[in-house]
Homo-oligomer: A and B are copies of this chain.
Amino acid sequence: MTVKVTRSMLKRQAIIDGALSAFQQYGVSDTSMDKIAQTAQVSKRTVYNHFESKEQLVTHIIKEIWRQNILTCDIEYQADMALDVQLAALLKNELDFLSNQNLQELIRVAIGYCLFNPDIFTAEMSEFFEQETALVRWIKQAVSAGRLRQVEPQKAHAQLISLLKGQAFWPQILHQQPVLTNAQIEELTEDTVAFFLAYYQA
């Protein structure tokens, strides 16, 4: 059942890890292929054997980062449970994800690259942002069960995510605020649940 790990695969992974580590430290433009090879403890030629160009290596990694940036969560709407408890669990889950320091570093690299290379978005990336999340699904179900007011689920979802990201994501991405503590996550969850349900609960 264990998959054979070839040396080639190990080298390839070392290159990706090394590149990512260098990108996090210096940004994409200020990371040279020599630096990547050095960081990965690999010959520069090996880098070019695995990736035709710097451009290819970069886009591979950026796409991989966005691919990881999909929240999987299997919390479903339950008819017999209080709304605030359910919503709190969903938001907590989302916040744990957004507050993950490792993810934030990855996204910082992706953003730094995509800001001035917007082409990478349009086609392949948009799918990542348009897919239905567990939170949207939950809102839809709660609305059709008559326990939330009649709203566009996408709009309510956008409001919730804005409230979370505005405190727990963007300030950290910009290095303005440290990553939230568990207590702060708890507080933000409660505040947001109360705020949201005051307006939307049926």
Contact = CB atoms under 8 A, between A and B. Distances in A.
Interface of A: 25-27, 29-30, 108, 111-112, 114-116, 118, 121, 126, 129, 155, 158-159, 161-163, 165-167, 170, 173-176, 191, 194-195, 198-199
28 contacts: A25-B116, A27-B29, A27-B115, A27-B116, A29-B29, A29-B30, A30-B116, A108-B116, A111-B111, A112-B112, A112-B115, A112-B116, A115-B175, A121-B174, A121-B175, A126-B176, A129-B176, A159-B166, A159-B191, A162-B162, A162-B163, A162-B165, A163-B166, A165-B166, A166-B166, A170-B170, A194-B199, A199-B199
Nearest to A126: B176
A116 B114 CA distance: 14
A77 to B, nearest CB: 22
This chain: copies in complex:
2
Contacts of A191: 155, 159
